[in-house]
Structure 1
Amino acid sequence: MNFVSTRNNAPAVSLSQAIAAGLAPDGGLYVPEALPAPRTLAPADSLARTATTLLTPFFAGDALEPELAAICEQAFDFPAPLQPLATPGDHVLELFHGPTAAFKDFGARFLAGSLARLPRADARPLTIVVATSGDTGAAVAAAFHRQPGLRVLVLYPDGRVSPRQAHQLGCLGDNIRALRVAGAFDDCQAMAKQALGDVELQAHVPLSSANSISLGRLLPQMSYYAHAAIGHHARTGRKLNFVIPTGNLGNAMAAILARGLSVPLGRIVLATNANRVLPDYFGGDEYRPQPTVATLANAMDVGAPSNFERLRWLYRGDDAALRAAFTSQGVDDGEIRDTIRERYQRHGEVFCPHTATAVRVLERLRASGQAASGEDWAVAATAHPAKFESVVEPLIGRELEVPPALAALLRRPAHAEPCQPSFAELRDRLVNWA
């Protein structure tokens, strides 16, 4: 299978080439020339086997095809359980049982496994430039830590991630560097994209991406949605609908692609925080990137979601069809706090701020009848609440138990370098990385 740019001004490439490059040379995002033909997927006993089956058509004929099963076994070696919530028919898909307690562990580990297996003629290390609004950078850093021939430069908005997220970003060292940027996530993302698109810079420092613009992260994220939906359908005969908290649209795009492969997923509703680019667009406004608003759900603080370009590609630029296919709702900080507090008081359920945005949207859907009785719904739980103890613990009135893997990272010393939101400064860091 070949992959092309969303902007249609770059040569078609193999999947390995797309994964290695990250961003297409015309600045677009890589997408398959066409989605594979729908297939009937049977329930599998492991998430890794579901991933292998689902991803096989994308890897057909590629240099990584013989390695796919091994990559999946390596990346998907922790569970993503679908758990019932207190409301009948409601569930939570727990995606936070990996090394850094966030859903991004799945895609980051898959990407690291893929890049580590790709032959490279260049003896220089490949530098992964990753902009993060909180969880991506930690997952990528952990996945690539001490990988030979690979190094990672993480850019994150200083003061706009949780203390534990910031600690994770700077605690590994070795081949990992963290820059705390005096700006917003969109500044970090713009700097990373400019670096990846700079041909002269790439001649001096080979670069790739690990944001959700990378197919090596996006494609494997389809797997946990498929595994949950296929298993649920086998047990109940019903499709599983999803509310997905989203910022850069990568996680939601993975679910949308999975549904396009005939996985028994029903409706997909996009939950955002106070950054309302998507709710405004799906409500009928023109798509307009906006300055980022800082919120409690900081990993979703995105004013220019990169993967919107892929979503438009999937619907051939037909805004009317796209708006007819999805809805999006925003949740402000007051509602996030109320949801965390009330769900704990009523049901003993504990959510991170990002998951709480999706829970609040699902509550609205149930109350309005848009999620009918008899329909089954799931919320994607994107991070463990212990990563956001400064928000969650005061609302529930108790300390949260820290998962062992996260606790181990928090025991390490951490350091991040200050950086201005300047491409010139980023370029200098990359060129002069000793």
Structure 2
Amino acid sequence: MKLYNLKEKSEQVNFSQAIKLGLGKKQGLFFPTKLPIINDTLLSEMLSMNFITRSSKILSLFIGDEIPEQQIQQSVQNAFHCSIPKIQYVQNNIACFELFHGPTLAFKDFGARFMAQILSYLNHKNEVITILTATSGDTGAAVAHAFYNMQNVRVIILYPKGKISEYQEKLFCTLGKNITTIAIEGSFDDCQTLVKQAFNDTELKKERGLNSANSINISRLLAQICYYFEAFSLISKQQRKNLIISIPCGNFGNLTAGLLAKSIGLPIKSFIAATNANDTVPKFLETGIWKPNKTISTLSNAMDISQPNNWPRVEEIFRINNWDLKSLGFGSVSDNITIQTLQNLDNLGYISEPHAAIAYKLLSEKIKDNEFGLFLGTAHPAKFKQSVENILKKTITLPQSLSKRINLPLLSHNMKPNFHKLRQFLLKK
């Protein structure tokens, strides 16, 4: 598999290099030089496979002979076996595609765990690797648990202090050992900027063997493609004919993966990019002007991102396919409407959380009578227990993965958004 740097197209790397580098020169994202194509016959065969077998096949088509197919299958088995997605119907023509049945109760488990498996396989020399990443809530837990206790891997996670839920924080800031967490006194965008500065520091990057596990890492994106095929396999042939998928968007990795699935042959009719008040992309699609505002804190904190990293990949997918960006559905939802939507979903018999509620709201507004819609359930409602309980006046039972951590002490360091201080910390670590 060959990939090129979107900011400097002369820089080309293979899959292994792309995973290890994370970002290319000028902090450019890597993108495949050629996408595999799945024809109707192969698609039909694949839809009859189970989730693990099909996912292994999809990833092998991308990666090629760079990693043996048997190894890819083993990595997929280790990464995905405990995270099988489910579909829950909310209305006759709308269902939630639940991606939160993994170890950290969020869709990020798929990409983070696959990346950990592949990186472990590729580290033949047992070199010490430092995973440095930023999280707006769910990535941190997924990455921490994926790499927890892994030999020769250190993980350092930055997150905005006081701006993720207590339950999100407890999932990954109580682990210790090879997992270090830093609460940054700022926004997620501040955390993301610090990570980018670290990767731009050639000496630091080399000295600490820095790698990123954000959705900017191509291995995470490829893993996410797989569950779109699973969604397609779980619905009827009639529902497949006019399938609309609404995605709660933060860093836009999930949308990128869905668009890649469509690019290689999954016949999804269209997508909706759903955001909260941090609406840089909806405004851009409406006006053609890219003008990120200061990040606003919302109920859907994992989407509190004003400068989404994966947007250049989205634009590249539309460019290479000659698709019109105007065909992408979009919209933003305020906290007040999110609250109303959660209550509406509860009245329909479905308990959700703020991120999925935003995706549902826009889907319910835009879907047509002859279409079938899926909205992505990206996190378990228990991760937002306090806000969901306050809104619905109901008690949310904690899954075991959360209940066993809730009384553990936080092990996080506190830091201002100062790169010099972060650099010193990383060099001492």
Shorter-chain TM-score tier? over 0.9
Q: Distance in 1 between matches of 2:50 and 2:410?
A: 35
Q: Distance in 2 between matches of 1:388 and 1:289?
A: 27
1:88-136 deviation digits (Å, cap 9, x = unpaired) = 1101000000111111011110011011111344x55200011000000
Match of 1:54 in 2: 58
Match of 2:162 in 1: 159
Match of 1:12 in 2: 12
Q: Distance in 2 between matches of 1:311 and 1:237?
A: 23
Tell me, yes or no, if structure 1 residue 405 matches structure 2 residue 410: no
1:241–1:377 Cα contact (<8 Å) kept: yes
Question: Which one of 201, 220, 223 corresponds to residue 220 of structure 1?
Answer: 223
1:113-166 deviation digits (Å, cap 9, x = unpaired) = 011111344x55200011000000011001100000111100000011111112
1:244–1:358 Cα contact (<8 Å) kept: yes
Q: Distance in 2 between matches of 1:107 and 1:4?
A: 20
1:273–1:295 Cα contact (<8 Å) kept: yes
Tell me, yes or no, if structure 1 residue 426 matches structure 2 residue 428: no
Which deviates further from its counterpart, 397-406 or 380-389? 397-406
User: Residue 387 of structure 1: SS of its match in structure 2?
Assistant: helix
Matches within 5 A, 1:70-89: 70-77=74-81, 78-85=83-90, 87-89=91-93
Matches within 5 A, 1:33-48: 33-39=33-39, 40-41=42-43, 42-48=46-52
Q: Distance in 2 between matches of 1:155 and 1:236?
A: 41
Which amino acid is 2:259 matched to? I
Match of 2:333 in 1: 331
Q: CA deviation at 1:186?
A: 0.4
Tell me, yes or no, if structure 1 residue 105 matches structure 2 residue 109: yes
Question: Which one of 371, 379, 382 corresponds to residue 383 of structure 1?
Answer: 379
Q: Distance in 1 between matches of 2:51 and 2:235?
A: 14
Q: Distance in 1 between matches of 2:10 and 2:185?
A: 33
1:10–1:25 Cα contact (<8 Å) kept: no
Question: Which one of 198, 205, 214 corresponds to residue 195 of structure 1?
Answer: 198
- Structure 1 alignment gaps of length 5 or more: 366-370
Identity %: 35
Question: Which one of 262, 265, 278 corresponds to residue 265 of structure 2?
Answer: 262
Q: Distance in 1 between matches of 2:121 and 2:160?
A: 32
Q: Distance in 2 between matches of 1:290 and 1:61?
A: 44
Q: Distance in 1 between matches of 2:75 and 2:47?
A: 20
Which amino acid is 1:364 matched to? E
- Structure 2 alignment gaps of length 5 or more: none
Tell me, yes or no, if structure 1 residue 342 matches structure 2 residue 344: yes
Which amino acid is 2:109 matched to? D
Which amino acid is 2:5 matched to? S
343 and 68 in structure 1: CA distance in 2 versus 1, 3 angstrom threshold:
same
Q: Distance in 2 between matches of 1:317 and 1:427?
A: 38
Q: Distance in 2 between matches of 1:239 and 1:13?
A: 37
Matches within 5 A, 1:219-368: 219-234=222-237, 236=239, 238-316=241-319, 321-344=323-346, 346-365=347-366
User: Residue 26 of structure 1: SS of its match in structure 2?
Assistant: helix
1:131–1:137 Cα contact (<8 Å) kept: yes
Which deviates further from its counterpart, 419-428 or 329-338? 419-428
Tell me, yes or no, if structure 1 residue 417 matches structure 2 residue 413: yes
Which amino acid is 2:360 matched to? V
Tell me, yes or no, if structure 1 residue 114 matches structure 2 residue 115: no
Q: CA deviation at 1:43?
A: 1.3
73 and 235 in structure 1: CA distance in 2 versus 1, 3 angstrom threshold:
farther
2:4–2:31 Cα contact (<8 Å) kept: yes
Q: Distance in 2 between matches of 1:236 and 1:28?
A: 38
1:233-253 deviation digits (Å, cap 9, x = unpaired) = 547552421000001000111
Q: Distance in 1 between matches of 2:124 and 2:26?
A: 23
User: Residue 315 of structure 1: SS of its match in structure 2?
Assistant: helix
Q: Distance in 2 between matches of 1:239 and 1:408?
A: 43
Matches within 5 A, 1:140-179: 140-179=143-182
Q: CA deviation at 1:231?
A: 3.6
Q: Distance in 2 between matches of 1:107 and 1:181?
A: 24
Cα root mean square deviation, aligned = 1.8
1:398-430 deviation digits (Å, cap 9, x = unpaired) = 211111222233343322100111111111111
Tell me, yes or no, if structure 1 residue 96 matches structure 2 residue 100: yes
User: Residue 97 of structure 1: SS of its match in structure 2?
Assistant: coil
Q: Distance in 2 between matches of 1:228 and 1:254?
A: 13
Q: Distance in 2 between matches of 1:151 and 1:240?
A: 41
Q: Distance in 2 between matches of 1:169 and 1:61?
A: 35
1:343-392 deviation digits (Å, cap 9, x = unpaired) = 21x22211111011111112222xxxxx2112110000000011001110
1:15–1:58 Cα contact (<8 Å) kept: no
User: Residue 82 of structure 1: SS of its match in structure 2?
Assistant: strand
User: Residue 409 of structure 1: SS of its match in structure 2?
Assistant: coil
Q: Distance in 1 between matches of 2:38 and 2:320?
A: 22
